[in-house]
Amino acid sequence: MIISQQKPFEEILTILGEKKRVFLIGCSLCATLCQSGGEEQVIEMKERLIGEGKEVSGHVVIEAVCHILNSKKELAAHKAALKETDAVLVMACGAGVQTVTELKKIPVMAALDTLFLGNVKRFGQFEERCSLCGECILNKTGGICPVTTCSKGLLNGPCGGMHDGKCEIDPERDCAWVKIYDRLEELGQLETFEEIFALKDYSKGIKPKALILERGKKVL
Amino acid sequence: MNFQQSLTQNQFTITTEIGPPKGTDTSEMLAQASKIKDRVHAMNVTDNQSSIMRLGSLAACHLLKEQGIDPIYQLTCRDRNRLALQSDLLSASALGLRNVLALTGDHPQVGDHPQAKPVFDVDSTQLLQIIGRLNEGRDLSTQFMNKPLTEGTALKGKTDLFPGAVVCPEANPIKPQLLRFSKKVVAGAKFFQTQAIYDFEKFENFMKYARDLGAKILAGILLLRSAGMARYLNKNVPGIMVPDHLIKEMESSAHPLETGIKIAARQISQLKGICNGVHIMAIGLEDKVLDILDEAGI
């Protein structure tokens, strides 16, 4: 899921500036689990903004704001309120914010910082393990991604900064390559580590990426 | 005799390193370098060491070469993608530089521009392969390293570089580090300089492994000037772990710098006969390399 965090409230007030009537949009998926833009946070935001002298023209929590067609439908129900709005404050990831940018001609503001594609370790604990690089190499690295979990994204083993199995930039963080080594050793696949990993094809990850599925084509 | 000849002829080879200034005034760097040039085979020039922005290692190597010093051009993957790395290697070769130390580089987070975008398009093992390729007169364009050499674009004039790399024989755990080391040998590293060595038993074990691979090793010696410095290095410089007994020795000394020189000389004497040479890191006190070598009787 997409991990996000609310910007400091003072920053949100600065972004809104003189804009008086605000419409709030939350997301019932990722931002809800991250407690950054679920129903609860949207209501809390509404109250805080009113407390600062703003008017809240309406609010809605959409299932997957990133889904443009779905969001268009949901927002159509709030047409009247949106007409009376100076700014839309979106409490969803960057993808969600840009859905609203595409749909509405009024100023759209991001209330969250979008952090990463995360695994949920336990409730309220998220970790980045995949960075959407466009070419998965997990089959050669014991199922642990060095592109993401090594701070340098190295492909041929631990750097000189590894200390007691930890990363040079954070003594709390495990060295990805020590973990990969242990895993491959456990699986009896160390010969994969011995091979020199070729340069990565970063052209596979050129942004912005897009994918169009062929219509009518059967998936396996 | 230059660095490459000294190593090839199995002489105990001495290198040291010099850090370019933060700014354009190279007078102090050159003055320090000229004081020690006759006592060392080569001088490493660091590349934005510890991710602290400084004058470039390529320009500094060129200036040292003009003074008759054999420089070792340190090149990290932190700040350059594959285009810049190849281009800088061609530039180095055109300026007559031969020795290159291929490094991954510290993360920008540990330096003075932590907001910088880290590059790491290539890692040090792959950089060694790139050097091998340029030496064969081919570049990386249109194909990747796993494709046959003949598919690369032919260069107008090939490089003649003598590639080296680094290894941390005291890394814990050691096994992944050793595998990476052997990959660097396969990738074409002709010599290795190590991070500071303190545990000689561990180092001898490492040397057995290195000798089997046919790798030439220059053991790292780091000049300590105070107990405080040792603690600072342990805390802030990735890969350096000064043991407590040396910190205590420094602490109880009335003249810590002299003690530091003695410790370094003692370490060199211990290493003679074990490895192919030493790499002395004096970090700003380059002229003290002379005292260390005198004390060690070299």
In this structure, are residues B115 and A147 in contact, taking their beta carbons and an 8 Å threshold? Answer: no
Following DSSP, what letter does each residue of chain A receive, concatenated? -EEEEEPPHHHHHHHHTT--EEEEEEESSHHHHTTSSSHHHHHHHHHHHHHTT-EEEEEEEES-TT-HHHHHHHHHTTHHHHHT-SEEEEES-HHHHHHHHHH-SS-EEE-EEEEEEEEEEETTEEEE-----SS--GGGTTT--HHHHSTT--SSS--TT-BTTEETTEEEEEPHHHHHHHHHHHTT-HHHHHSPPPPP-GGGGPSSP---PPTTPPP-
- Give residue-wise pLDDT tens across range A167-181: 999 999 999 999 999
Q: Does domain B3-296 have CATH number 3.90.470.20?
A: no
Give CA–CA dist B165/B102, Å, rounded: 5
Chain A residue at shortest CA distance from B114:
A169
| Interface residues from chain B to A (CB-CB < 8 Å) | 78, 82, 104, 106-107, 109-110, 118, 120-126, 129, 140, 144-146, 166-168, 171-173, 175-177, 179-180, 182-183, 186-187, 195, 238-239, 241
Judged on CB neighbours under 10 Å (0-12, 13-18, 19+), A203 is exposed
- Give residue-wise pLDDT tens across range B17-61: 999 999 999 999 999 999 999 999 999 999 999 999 999 999 999
Q: What token pair was written down for B185?
A: 């040998």
Smallest Cα–Cα separation from B85: which of B45, B146, B135, B140? B140
Chain B residue at shortest CA distance from A157:
B180
Give CA–CA dist A175/B116, Å, rounded: 21
Nearest 5 degrees, angle CA A40-CA A41-CA A43? 70
Smallest Cα–Cα separation from B257: which of B218, B284, B220? B284
Up-side HSE of residue A109: CA atoms within 13 Å toward CB?
A: 21
Smallest Cα–Cα separation from A81: which of A100, A57, A104, A62? A57
Which of B104, B144, B186 minimises the CB distance to A152?
Answer: B104
* CB-based contact A199 B122, cutoff 8 Å: yes
pTM over 0.90: yes
Q: Where are the alpha helices (DSSP H) in B136-276?
A: 175-186, 200-213, 227-236, 244-251, 256-271
Chain B residue at shortest CA distance from A193:
B179
Q: What token pair was written down for B289?
A: 């390399």
Q: Which CATH number fits domain A2-116: 3.10.129.10, 1.10.10.60, 3.40.50.2300, 3.40.50.10490?
A: 3.40.50.2300
A133–chain B Cβ distance below 8 A for any pair = no
Q: What token pair was written down for B76?
A: 């990290």
pLDDT at B152: 74
Portion of chain B with pLDDT greater than 90, in percent? 89
Long-range contacts of B293-298 (CB under 8 A, 24+ apart): B293/B14, B293/B39, B293/B265, B293/B268, B295/B261, B295/B262, B295/B264, B295/B265, B296/B264, B296/B265, B296/B266, B296/B268, B296/B269, B297/B269, B298/B12, B298/B14, B298/B39, B298/B268
Chain A residue at shortest CA distance from B123:
A154
Chain B residue at shortest CA distance from A184:
B176
Q: State the nearest Cα–Cα gap between B226 and chain A, in angstroms.
A: 23
Task: Enumerate residues 200 to 219 of chain A having a beta carbon within 8 A of any beta carbon in chain B.
Answer: 200-202
* CB-based contact B175 A194, cutoff 8 Å: no
Query: CB contacts < 8 Å between A and B, how many?
Result: 107
Question: CA dihedral in degrees (A5, A6, A11, A15; nearest 10)?
Answer: 100
* CB-based contact A156 B140, cutoff 8 Å: no
* CB-based contact B120 A154, cutoff 8 Å: yes
Check whether A44 has a pLDDT greater than 90: yes
Give CA–CA dist B274/B154, Å, rounded: 42
- Give residue-wise pLDDT tens across range B104-156: 999 999 999 999 999 999 999 999 999 999 999 998 886 555 566 566 788 99
A174–chain B Cβ distance below 8 A for any pair = no
- Give residue-wise pLDDT tens across range A12-25: 999 999 999 999 99
Q: Is the peptide bond before A208 cis (omega within 30 degrees of 0)?
A: yes
Chain A residue at shortest CA distance from B145:
A198
CB atoms within 10 A of CB A65: 30
Which of B118, B176, B239 minimises the CB distance to A152?
Answer: B118
> What residue ranges do the domains of chain B occupy?
3-296
* CB-based contact A194 B182, cutoff 8 Å: yes
* CB-based contact B123 A156, cutoff 8 Å: yes
> What residue ranges do the domains of chain A occupy?
2-116, 150-205
Give CA–CA dist B206/B53, Å, rounded: 33
- Measured distance between the N- and C-terminal CA atoms of chain A, rounded to whole angstroms: 25
- Give residue-wise pLDDT tens across range A71-103: 999 999 999 999 999 999 999 999 999 999 999
Check whether A106 has a pLDDT greater than 70: yes
Give CA–CA dist B207/B204, Å, rounded: 5
- Give residue-wise pLDDT tens across range A114-169: 999 999 999 999 999 999 999 999 999 999 999 999 999 999 999 999 999 999 99
Residue bearing tokens 């890692």:
B123
pLDDT at A191: 94
* CB-based contact B176 A158, cutoff 8 Å: yes
